[in-house]
Structure 1
Amino acid sequence: MWLDERVLALFKKNLQPTLTYWSVFFSFGLCIAFLGPTLLDLRCQTQSSLQQITWVFFSQQFCLLLGSCFGGLFKRTVKQSLLVLFISALAISLVFSIIPFCHNVVLLAIVMAMAGLAMGCIDTISNMKLVEIYQKDSAIFLQALHFFVGFGALLSPLIADPFLSETNCIQSNGTANTSSSLEHIRNSLVAHHPRNLSHYELPMTGLVITRVSYAFWIMALINLPVPIAVFLLLYKEGMVPGCARKGSSLLRADELAMETHVAEKAEEHHSTQTAGPTASSHDELFSCLQSKNFQGASFSYFAIHVTGALVLFMSDGIVGEYAGFVYTYAVEKPLSIEHKKAGYLPSLFWASITLGRLLSVPLSYWMKATTMIFINLSGVLLTFLLLLLTSYSTVFLFVGTALLGLFLSSIFPSMLAYTEDVLNYKGCATTVLVTGAGIGEMVLQMMVGTIIQQEGSHSFLVCGTIFGCLAFAFYVVLLVFHRMHRKPSAEVSGEQAAMKEGSLSYQR
């Protein structure tokens, strides 16, 4: 067995919560990838224009960011975090069920905003709880967690595909759209960039013929076991009213009660000395930004959060812009690939990301997170440089797309495990990194779309190369700040004294 006995025993001890967090991330993947393929059918269902329907993208992405920040508020207690996870997983199933009844684009945008909030909470809380459970061994379990989001993102378009309209789903005498032009539009739709499709005259009124509702109901059924799994974990932990069970605790209360008590006592003692009696209410929200964390190595502590988020801002931004615009780049000059053939590129990219995350599960056990991140970022940069050098090669575009997906696949979980380890698992890094990654995916995609619109499709690879260089540079800066981030001996001795004092008070 490639796992040692200690890690395997830890996994067995936390089997149910680990599997539950993995399953919740599968819900996240299902929800994040269905919108693109189904957007034309949803346009018909809501009888809206291309410009109007792409606002649904924005509502989901923006609320996903809000949900990521909101999820960070529930890191203190197991009860809060599990309850939010249950509501979020249930909300995703409800969203899948409700979408077929949304015949107005504003209502659809509101429903997708609810889905975005749920997805953001899932993203932050699942990552945070796995890091909290496994700490220094969390890298391998985070890689598995992100494999499940990739698996869900790969599955939902496959479920939707048989139910997508092959001809225009609003029957009108004024237009005659072919299936090939619809396929081109479907592959070209990216959030807030429908302007390059304005010459297509799609009807907004007429007889609506679409079967996409069946795809959403199937996904709702597939996702239904996930909130059930979270509910079972709530029941096991004795958090269901009227169904309390003694002797069970997700955070192993018998082992961690003293540590939790000591930490809370130390924080309360320090906050009363530095901030007065009114500070305690703010400590719950900003516990990772306590003044004690800025003694001695304050600048490096702050800088590690910022540079780690910037690395993921760039790397996740590359994922968003490449998946969104590789098709547009392929069908235009100089490659001019056939529409149907170019349509395989985004699928190949996501399949490579999913495969890369699966391969990273055993690799993260044998390889340090810093080494994996260095290899991945170097691979991303080299792949973009090779794509630039072979920009007239159709074959290498497919090869480069697969390589890029493999190298990008494990950057996020490796960076999360590494940063939390450097910062001693205070929990704040997860929220900052998840939010930074989400902002990057949205902002860079919009930026690249605007640049392609103004400068042409050749700028697509140039933008990716620049983002790859910046991600690598920020990672080097992060390593420098890591070397600067050392706890002063006075602080360490102070913490040891606080733990000793807290241990005595706990025994009393």
Structure 2
Amino acid sequence: MTMASLESLAHRLLTTALIYFLFLQLAIRFGIFGPTILDLGTQLGVSQSQMSFVFSVTSIGVCVGAISSGFLFKWVPKQVALASIVVMLGIVVSFVTLIQDYYFFMVLQFIIGVTSGAAINACEAWILEIWQDSCPPYMQALQFFRGLGYILGPIIVEPFLIPEEDEDISPTSKSINQTKISGMVIKIVMNGTESTPSELENYIYIPYMINGLMLVLAAILVFFQYFYTVRKSRSANMMASSQATIISTITCEDKLSQSSDEKNEKESKREEPKLYTFSIIILCSLFYLFFFEEVVVTYLASFSANIDLHLTKSGGAFLTSIFNLCNVMGKGVSIVLALKLNHFTMLYMNLSVILISLVVLIIFSNTSLVMLWFGVCLLGVGLSSIIASLYALMESSITMNSMVCGVLNMSGTLGSVFVPLAIANYIESYPLSLIYASLFCALSCIVTLIVIHVLIGFRQKQHKQNQLIEEKPVMKF
């Protein structure tokens, strides 16, 4: 039994609330990046395609942080390591928008990715440690705060975006982004190779600094929580040592009972063939590799600004918030649906909604604002419970552990790296590349899911046949 299980309920709830606050700030950090891509590109003097590589660098950092933190937590107390990492993250986030050099900005984004990945991994592991067998609802709530952060991020950053004036854009000036500030029109050529530097009244550093300060505040609270826990643990140890004379030892019968329970527990776990387990892990990792929710969140503002409707940056930020709102609402509804529907039904249903939404966006995103909103809302709902259903599917098919979860997270992060690279050079000149890339990913997920369904169905059929053979009476001659 760990110290976490010995803590009072009030202490565990307060610690959980602290983790939720920290996780919310981590999600807001991600949520404010997408709507500010255009302004950051203007400030750095680079094109949108070049800014797309920044997202890939950040994703690589998240992957590195998630892996390296697992080793770090073996040598350093989790709370101390987490607080130190979050302090570093908060400082970098606070000042990253003040950087004028593109390559130095990419280095800082990589650091943000590493620290964010480590912090996310620590928060999830901490929730599991605190609640153990009772963790499912608290893990669901943790993901809810992730979605809430994605909603709040664009809303927080919207008032600080560089204002712009709607103007007719001729076919010969599609590569020019015109921004009017204080009566002066500043033309910035963003063709990927050259840019005209300009002194813009840029206020996007404000939401970044606020988020950075909130991260530092969360880190300080984690430090206090750690010192309080250590002090409480020492007091408990002193009381235990003073009462050592009345502590009874485990009897022989207790040991036999414990060993019997452990044996029954091991026998109750279904042991699947290694090849089958390995195949399920690989296929589910491939499924996660093609999952594209974070890519949509990041590029939706840029997509809406470059389509023929030419939404403003404020409109793009609001559209991203609506997408995230529908996504969070879908997560809530899926909790109820999961009680009635099996995992495959949930996945097929969500993927069908995604396909419908992508078809709507392909047909109407350049011509109808209403259908654009409808397609984006539908896409948010469709993407809401995909990963939760995938984890539930794996849990019902094989034995899950931290290593398997790590492989899945690695695949998801790699997908966040390669998909942006595929559309980086096209999002500005051909914004529908985001939708077509999403369609390819959705179709790949469907094909992979069908293979998983066939494999699991075949394995279940084998189980039934083996049970029939075992139950069949043996004929004696």
| 1:198 counterpart = 2:198 | no
Flag the 1:407–1:247 CA change in 2: closer, same or farther, 3 A: farther
Partner of 1:424: 399
Partner of 1:445: 420
Query: Is the contact between residue 48 and residue 428 of structure 2 (CA under 8 Å) also seen in structure 1?
Result: no
Cα distance in 2 for residues equivalent to 1:435 and 1:474: 18
Match among 205, 227, 243 for residue 213 of structure 1: 205
Match among 101, 110, 120 for residue 113 of structure 1: 110
| 1:33 counterpart = 2:31 | yes
Shift of 1:117: 0.6
Query: Is the contact between residue 319 and residue 408 of structure 1 (CA under 8 Å) also seen in structure 2?
Result: no
Cα distance in 1 for residues equivalent to 2:48 and 2:427: 19
Cα distance in 1 for residues equivalent to 2:224 and 2:133: 27
Cα distance in 2 for residues equivalent to 1:421 and 1:236: 39
Partner of 1:63: 61
Flag the 1:432–1:144 CA change in 2: closer, same or farther, 3 A: same
Q: State the identity as a percent.
A: 21
Name structure 2 gaps, 5 residues minimum. 1-7, 166-175, 239-254, 260-268, 464-477
Partner of 1:189: none
Q: After superposition, what is the alpha-carbon deviation per residue over 1:132-185, rounded to whole angstroms, capped at 9, x for unaligned?
A: 6656765443332122122222223332232332269xxxxxx993349xxxx9
Shift of 1:361: 5.0
Flag the 1:331–1:45 CA change in 2: closer, same or farther, 3 A: closer
| 1:339 counterpart = 2:311 | yes
Instruction: Report the AA paired with residue 472 of structure 1.
Output: I
Query: Is the contact between residue 143 and residue 414 of structure 1 (CA under 8 Å) also seen in structure 2?
Result: no
Cα distance in 1 for residues equivalent to 2:178 and 2:357: 38
Asked which structure has the greater CA Rg, the reply is: 2
Q: Which moved more, 1:114-123 or 1:86-95?
A: 86-95
Superposed, 1:88-487 pairs within 5 Å as 88-99=85-96, 101-131=98-128, 138-166=135-163, 177-179=178-180, 197-198=190-191, 202-204=195-197, 207=199, 209-238=201-230, 244-246=234-236, 297-315=273-291, 317-321=292-296, 324=299, 328=303, 331-332=306-307, 336-340=308-312, 343=316, 344-361=318-335, 369=343, 371-387=345-361, 393-420=368-395, 422-450=397-425, 456=430, 460-482=434-456, 484=459
Query: Is the contact between residue 329 and residue 460 of structure 1 (CA under 8 Å) also seen in structure 2?
Result: no
Shift of 1:422: 4.1
Superposed, 1:34-53 pairs within 5 Å as 34-43=32-41
Shift of 1:29: 0.7
Query: Is the contact between residue 143 and residue 361 of structure 1 (CA under 8 Å) also seen in structure 2?
Result: no
Q: After superposition, what is the alpha-carbon deviation per residue over 1:213-232, rounded to whole angstroms, capped at 9, x for unaligned?
A: 33222222333442234324
Cα distance in 2 for residues equivalent to 1:118 and 1:448: 26
- With the length of structure 2 as denominator, give the TM-score of the two structures: 0.70
Flag the 1:46–1:402 CA change in 2: closer, same or farther, 3 A: closer
Query: Is the contact between residue 37 and residue 48 of structure 2 (CA under 8 Å) also seen in structure 1?
Result: no
Query: Is the contact between residue 327 and residue 345 of structure 1 (CA under 8 Å) also seen in structure 2?
Result: no
Name structure 1 gaps, 5 residues minimum. 1-9, 169-174, 186-193, 249-261, 267-292, 489-508
Instruction: Report the AA paired with residue 64 of structure 1.
Output: V
Query: Is the contact between residue 60 and residue 113 of structure 1 (CA under 8 Å) also seen in structure 2?
Result: yes
Cα distance in 1 for residues equivalent to 2:383 and 2:397: 22
Query: Is the contact between residue 146 and residue 413 of structure 1 (CA under 8 Å) also seen in structure 2?
Result: no
Query: Is the contact between residue 297 and residue 487 of structure 1 (CA under 8 Å) also seen in structure 2?
Result: no
Cα distance in 1 for residues equivalent to 2:16 and 2:24: 13
Flag the 1:327–1:213 CA change in 2: closer, same or farther, 3 A: closer
Flag the 1:459–1:20 CA change in 2: closer, same or farther, 3 A: same
Shift of 1:209: 3.5
* DSSP-derived class of the 1:464 partner: helix
Instruction: Report the AA paired with residue 324 of structure 2.
Output: W
Flag the 1:120–1:385 CA change in 2: closer, same or farther, 3 A: same
Query: Is the contact between residue 357 and residue 409 of structure 1 (CA under 8 Å) also seen in structure 2?
Result: yes
Cα distance in 2 for residues equivalent to 1:167 and 1:361: 41
* DSSP-derived class of the 1:198 partner: coil
* DSSP-derived class of the 2:202 partner: coil
Q: Which moved more, 1:155-164 or 1:297-306?
A: 155-164
* DSSP-derived class of the 1:165 partner: coil
* DSSP-derived class of the 1:339 partner: coil
Shift of 1:378: 3.1
Q: After superposition, what is the alpha-carbon deviation per residue over 1:417-471, rounded to whole angstroms, capped at 9, x for unaligned?
A: 44356443421122111111111122123224456689x5555544433322221
Cα distance in 1 for residues equivalent to 2:47 and 2:356: 40
- With the length of structure 1 as denominator, give the TM-score of the two structures: 0.66
* DSSP-derived class of the 2:290 partner: helix
Instruction: Report the AA paired with residue 22 of structure 1.
Output: Y
Alignment RMSD, CA only? 4.4
Cα distance in 2 for residues equivalent to 1:87 and 1:365: 40
Shift of 1:405: 0.3
Q: Which moved more, 1:153-162 or 1:341-350?
A: 341-350
